[in-house]
Amino acid sequence: ASLEPGPAAQPGGRLLEPPRAAELLLLLSCPAFRSQLARLFGSKRAEQWRFASAAPVEEVSGDEEEDQLRGLGWFALLRVQPGGEAKGEAARGLAVTVAPLGAVAKGAPLLACGSPFGAFCPDIFLNTLSRGVLSNAAGPLLLTDARCLPGTEGGGVFSARSVGALVALVAVPLCWKASEWVGLTLLCAVPPLLRAARAALTHLPDGAALAALLPPEVGAPRGLPLRDPRPPWVASAVLVEFGSVWGSGVAMAPRLVVTCRHVAPREAAKVLVHSATPKSVAIWGRVVFATQETSPYDIAVLSLEEDLDGVPMPVPAEHFQEGTAVSVVGFGVFGQACGPSVTSGILSAVVQVDDTPVMLQTTCAVHGGSSGGPLFSSPSGDLLGIVASNTRDNNTGATYPHLNFSIPITVLQPALQQYRQTGDLGGLRELDHATKPVRVVWRLQCPLPMTLRSKL
């Protein structure tokens, strides 16, 4: 996702209408949004999450921070004073169409439009665009990996498909979890806000007329379906629970899941695998294989006691193209509190040894809890690899979600095929004997004393 000036950009700054005086009609809130906010970010976790807020930056006490958390879910309906419209402008009614809640699927592209730093230099920053996908949804609380900066709170987020309908407003542009920048933006879906506005406007003298003007939730004007087809590959991501540890995994066959060794390290141990789509199920399984700690390939293979019914099985890729649009699906950030999150980016590097890909890097946002999850090619849906880690600088403690490392599926596929067809683990055991050049490539993964360590 990147910030790009909108089409109206002129050399030497944007042309702007002069500022127009406005009046506050209502302050609006969506209780469902705020309860999801409190569920996912509130209570004892509050101390882990930090948010950029629209209020001037000042030291806040714990209580004020709790207040700030609750205040995050408030929006305002304004009326601009008449006068100053350009000729002909008055004749135009709706400025936007609004997508119904739930109309946009996880993984579908979104476009955020906001003005970093608000009204501070609008000739430079007005309506700056940022692209991403719908990463997750919990009721009206939506998440996108489109990058937004302070000042874009309240900016619109639009569906990228045919009608460009308004989907949500930016609620919290930046959030940090335990001082790690998450790279996800919190959004509030617009339909519940407009419903709250219509109900509240009845309390104002001319409220009914104003309520009638508000944009309704519509499909595409020409009857085209608005709902994005959900990319099938989102459903193959599963959550793997091993004792008190959890991570992500990918279903390769109805009873075969691949994850990371550091998620399920002990062979023969029992694990519980959760799948959310097509329905929420939890199935017991066993670790049939896990690479050694010393292996550069951080991989474990799970055999389930029942089929994962209805879960689409991914098609393993055979080639990799740097620059390809990719998506990562995993249970990072929210774990079991939400279904899997989708983040998007590009395949930023394919590292090879003797012309064989042994490491993939992407610009997707990858967080703790995502390891073991699938990396897909967005255009084809093919499975490219298994996410193993993001990057952490042990000197500063900073984590870089958008620089992460995956194991190419081509490294695993022959051995997985052999195991599926014959039950023979021989091919998988070979992963413990990777050549020295491969170890060198993955050296940041292994725990070395006093050097940079990269692990989720």
- Choose among 359, 349, 338: nearest CA to 296: 359
First to last CA, the chain: 23
| Distance from chain centroid for Cα 188 | 15
Contact status: 193 vs other proteins (CB under 8 A): yes
Phi and psi of 429, rounded to 5°? Answer: -60, -30
Q: Does residue 298 carry a catalytic annotation?
A: yes
Contact status: 452 vs other proteins (CB under 8 A): no
Contact status: 55 vs other proteins (CB under 8 A): yes
Contact status: 78 vs other proteins (CB under 8 A): yes
Tokens, residue 62: 């714990």
Catalytic residue, chosen from 371, 377, 389, 406, is 371
Closer of 25 and 444 to other proteins (Cβ): 25
- Under rule CB under 8 A, which residues in 349-408 are in contact with other proteins? none
- Under rule CB under 8 A, which residues in 122-151 are in contact with other proteins? 122-124, 126-127, 129, 131, 151
Degrees to nearest 5, angle at CA 211 with 209 and 214: 115
Contact status: 208 vs other proteins (CB under 8 A): no
Residue from 57, 91, 268, 450 binding other proteins (CB under 8 A): 91
Contact status: 57 vs other proteins (CB under 8 A): no
- Under rule CB under 8 A, which residues in 280-299 are in contact with other proteins? none
Closer of 169 and 263 to other proteins (Cβ): 169
Residue by residue, DSSP assigns 198-245 as: HHHHTTSTTHHHHHHHSPPB---TTS---SPPPPGGGGGEEEEEETTE
Residue from 48, 70, 321, 356 binding other proteins (CB under 8 A): 70
Contact status: 88 vs other proteins (CB under 8 A): yes
Please report how close the Cβ of residue 64 comes to other proteins at its closest, in angstroms.
Answer: 7
Catalytic residue, chosen from 29, 135, 295, 298, is 298
- Under rule CB under 8 A, which residues in 254-283 are in contact with other proteins? none
Contact status: 225 vs other proteins (CB under 8 A): no
Q: Does residue 344 carry a catalytic annotation?
A: no
Enclosing H/E stretch for 65: helix 62-71
Tokens, residue 441: 């490539």
Residue from 80, 245, 440, 448 binding other proteins (CB under 8 A): 80
Count residues binding other proteins (CB under 8 A). 102
Query: Tokens 């979104």 belong to which residue?
Result: 110
Q: Are 384 and 376 in contact (CB under 8 A)?
A: yes
Buried/exposed code over 137-167 (b: 16+ C-beta within 10 A; e: otherwise): bbbbbbbbbbbbbbbbbebbbbbbbebebbb
Catalytic residue, chosen from 248, 262, 378, 454, is 262
Q: Does residue 262 carry a catalytic annotation?
A: yes
Residue from 196, 366, 375, 409 binding other proteins (CB under 8 A): 196
Please report how close the Cβ of residue 410 comes to other proteins at its closest, in angstroms.
Answer: 29
Amino acid symbol at 335: G
Closer of 13 and 278 to other proteins (Cβ): 13
DSSP state of 334: T
Closer of 20 and 433 to other proteins (Cβ): 20
- Under rule CB under 8 A, which residues in 32-51 are in contact with other proteins? 34-35
Please report how close the Cβ of residue 5 comes to other proteins at its closest, in angstroms.
Answer: 10
The site string for other proteins over 103-122 (x = CB under 8 A, - otherwise) reads: ------x-x-xxx-xxxxxx
- Choose among 194, 405, 222: nearest CA to 299: 405
Tokens, residue 350: 């394919």
Q: Residue 45 in 3-state DSSP?
A: helix
The site string for other proteins over 412-451 (x = CB under 8 A, - otherwise) reads: ----------------------------------------
Q: How far apart are CA 156 and CA 255, in angstroms?
A: 43
Contact status: 6 vs other proteins (CB under 8 A): yes
Contact status: 224 vs other proteins (CB under 8 A): no
Q: What is the 3-state secondary structure (H, E, C) of 365-386?
A: CCCCCCCCCEEEECCCCCEEEE
Contact status: 216 vs other proteins (CB under 8 A): no
Indicate the burial class of 280 (C-beta count within 10 angstroms; 0-12, 13-18, 19 or more): exposed
Q: How many CA atoms lie within 13 A of 326 on its CB side?
A: 33
Sort strands 156-159 and 166-172 into parallel, antiparallel or unpaired: antiparallel
Closer of 159 and 295 to other proteins (Cβ): 159
Region of 328 on the Ramachandran plot (φ > 0 left; ψ -120 to 50 alpha; else beta)? beta
Residue from 1, 36, 97, 320 binding other proteins (CB under 8 A): 97
Contact status: 13 vs other proteins (CB under 8 A): yes
Please report how close the Cβ of residue 255 comes to other proteins at its closest, in angstroms.
Answer: 38
Q: How far apart are CA 398 and CA 401, in angstroms?
A: 10
Please report how close the Cβ of residue 230 comes to other proteins at its closest, in angstroms.
Answer: 17
Please report how close the Cβ of residue 124 comes to other proteins at its closest, in angstroms.
Answer: 8
Active site residues: 262, 298, 371
